[in-house]
Structure 1
Amino acid sequence: SRVIRDVAEFKTGMTGDMMWMDLFVGPHVSSDCAVVGGAVQWIRHARGLPWTGAMFRHWIINAADDAELTQFLTGWVAQQLPRYTGMINIETIGDHIIEAQIRFADQWCDLNGAGWLDAVVGLYQHGVWFFEDSGRRDGFSVPLFAAHGMVPRHPSREIQNRIRAMPDVASLQITFHETKGSEDHFMPPGGFRLGIVNCWNLQSGFAAREELAKAFPDVEVMIPE
């Protein structure tokens, strides 16, 4: 993909299989919504900091609401899904919706707080939403990528447990199957995601990612500067 800046550049770069779309600019936000009968009962926004090759440096799961975005998405859900009950994840760039899926972001469920998954189960089981959310705080989701190629072995359980026990670390996910080839994993073009550290302090998350990187000595890990 590339940015086309004018008609001349469009004609020069045009190929038979080319498609084009508007270029959206602004924050890239992933918003999870709990919906009952088309009415949003709960919403939380996470902002991704883009890196390169469709990868993200990290995600910030914001405690604070974005009132303007919440109003926009609440209205959109009410109009488009007036009878829907369940979870929906909506991604936006600036003030444009780029995708909406009948699911939630499973990457940082633990950062939504204790009892959140129970509330999701209750939503689907009973059609009601009940979640005590007064204690929400900022969280961070920090990925570790490697160059595409060899699929490594998972770190030992001892190493994983040590990283999970580091200060402010909420969880550690190893995000690949060690018995499958790289072509059998759905990964961004820029890199192969090895794992994700969810945490309550960004610098602590970076430190945990550094420790995780040491567990993969045979691959070329990629860490943003």
Structure 2
Amino acid sequence: MPILEPDPWRQQFFDHCLCPNDLNIPIKDPDAYRMNPLHAWAYNKLMIAEKQNLICGPHDIEPGFYPVFSKPIYNLRSMGSNSGVIIDRQEYSKRYNPGFMWVEILEGEHLSTDMAVVDGEALWFAHAIGYPEKEGTFDYWKILADHRQETEAYLQAFISENFTHYRGMMNFETIGGRIIEMHLRFADQWPDLYGEPFVPSLIELYRSGSWRLGPLNRTGCSVVLFGEHRNYRKPSQAFLAQFIDHDQVTSIQLPFHETMDYRRHSMPPGGFRLAIVNGFSLEKCKETRDVIRQEFKRLNDLNLTEE
């Protein structure tokens, strides 16, 4: 399929639209990396920090202050694998890891921003605020119907300088208006919340360099369920289908492979991601998460971590 979505739980977002066979639209970072050799440096988090004059360095150079935030320089599997705060020199010596970096800790609003970009110009923005929990996990994301003008201006200046020959989607994660990571694709966790015109607009962007979709006009939410790190049996699709009403709850994803050992999944230290509930009612999505939590508990005979 020309829309390169390998995850079966997310093909629901794309299988209703025909995409020309001569297009290849990357959804995952390994595909985006291979398809964009000129801009593949976008996945180098150390370079991103350096371009913004943040205080940072590879693990081979010890920080001159603590605490700092540690993460892989490259992590095309995403999900914040093995990232976290290092509080002092003793912990640094224990967690030293070649291929990792440290950076000053940023504070402020944590945004995920999708952008449609043509030759260094942003044609469209969509922002989501993350509400973090422990060790790289999130309670939920709120997909916004309004702008973040300062962040948009900052990102526009960044792509004007660095992406003058790029056409396609981009995703930036920012904290306090500074970039912590970027991707040459969009966030495939909630495209249903962008509305039906999103996928046709996506196809047209990669086909001709034009963009049809206007600003978002409705706030959505993407509620996440985490459990302990272990193997799980999944609830059935029939069980999940009863909660979908295409308005309050628009989709449910179980974003892991049931037949794959849990250690082979890229997950944050704070938990194993079991389910994602998207919709336009935060209350209803959280209620659905609670019901799914109990079904996981019933199927797997365990106590799940609380959000």
TM norm structure 1: 0.90
Q: Where do 4+ consecutive residues of structure 1 move more than 6 Å?
A: none
Tell me if structure 2 keeps the 8 A contact 1:122–1:129. yes
Q: What residue number does 1:165 align with? A: 245
CA displacement at 1:13 relative to structure 2: 4.2
SS of the residue 1:163 aligns to? coil
Pair 1:211 & 2:291 matched: yes
Alignment gaps of 5+ in structure 1: none
CA displacement at 1:166 relative to structure 2: 8.3
Work out the CA distance in 2 between the residues paired with 1:223 and 1:162: 24
SS of the residue 1:4 aligns to? coil
Q: What residue number does 1:144 align with? A: 225
Q: What residue number does 1:75 align with? A: 157
The code of the aligned residue for 2:155 comes to L
Work out the CA distance in 1 between the residues paired with 2:173 and 2:148: 14
* Pairing of 1:59-138 with structure 2 (within 5 A): 59-133=141-215, 136-138=217-219
Q: What residue number does 1:36 align with? A: 118
SS of the residue 1:222 aligns to? coil
CA displacement at 1:184 relative to structure 2: 1.3
SS of the residue 1:97 aligns to? strand
SS of the residue 1:106 aligns to? coil
SS of the residue 1:107 aligns to? coil
Q: Find 2:280's aligned residue among 200, 204, 219.
A: 200
CA displacement at 1:39 relative to structure 2: 0.7
CA displacement at 1:95 relative to structure 2: 2.2
**For 1:168-188, what per-residue CA distance to the aligned partner results, in whole angstroms no more than 9, with x for missing partners?**
001111111111100111111
Pair 1:221 & 2:221 matched: no
Alignment gaps of 5+ in structure 2: 1-64, 69-86
**For 1:166-210, what per-residue CA distance to the aligned partner results, in whole angstroms no more than 9, with x for missing partners?**
860011111111111001111111111111000101111111101
Q: 1:67 to 1:147 in 2, by over 3 A?
A: same
SS of the residue 2:269 aligns to? coil
Work out the CA distance in 1 between the residues paired with 2:246 and 2:126: 26
SS of the residue 2:256 aligns to? coil
CA displacement at 1:223 relative to structure 2: 3.0
**For 1:93-140, what per-residue CA distance to the aligned partner results, in whole angstroms no more than 9, with x for missing partners?**
10211111101000010011111011111111122111144x621000
Q: 1:123 to 1:10 in 2, by over 3 A?
A: same
How many residues end up aligned between the 2 structures? 218
Identical aligned residues as a percent:
35
Work out the CA distance in 1 between the residues paired with 2:201 and 2:92: 49
**For 1:45-97, what per-residue CA distance to the aligned partner results, in whole angstroms no more than 9, with x for missing partners?**
11101100210110011111111111111111111101211000011010211
Q: 1:210 to 1:45 in 2, by over 3 A?
A: same
The code of the aligned residue for 1:50 comes to P
The code of the aligned residue for 2:162 comes to Q
Work out the CA distance in 2 between the residues paired with 1:206 and 1:88: 29
Tell me if structure 2 keeps the 8 A contact 1:163–1:211. no
Work out the CA distance in 1 between the residues paired with 2:207 and 2:280: 30
Q: 1:186 to 1:14 in 2, by over 3 A?
A: closer
Work out the CA distance in 2 between the residues paired with 1:155 and 1:111: 23
Work out the CA distance in 1 between the residues paired with 2:156 and 2:92: 39
SS of the residue 1:20 aligns to? strand
SS of the residue 2:164 aligns to? coil
Tell me if structure 1 keeps the 8 A contact 2:150–2:177. no
SS of the residue 2:161 aligns to? helix
SS of the residue 2:189 aligns to? helix
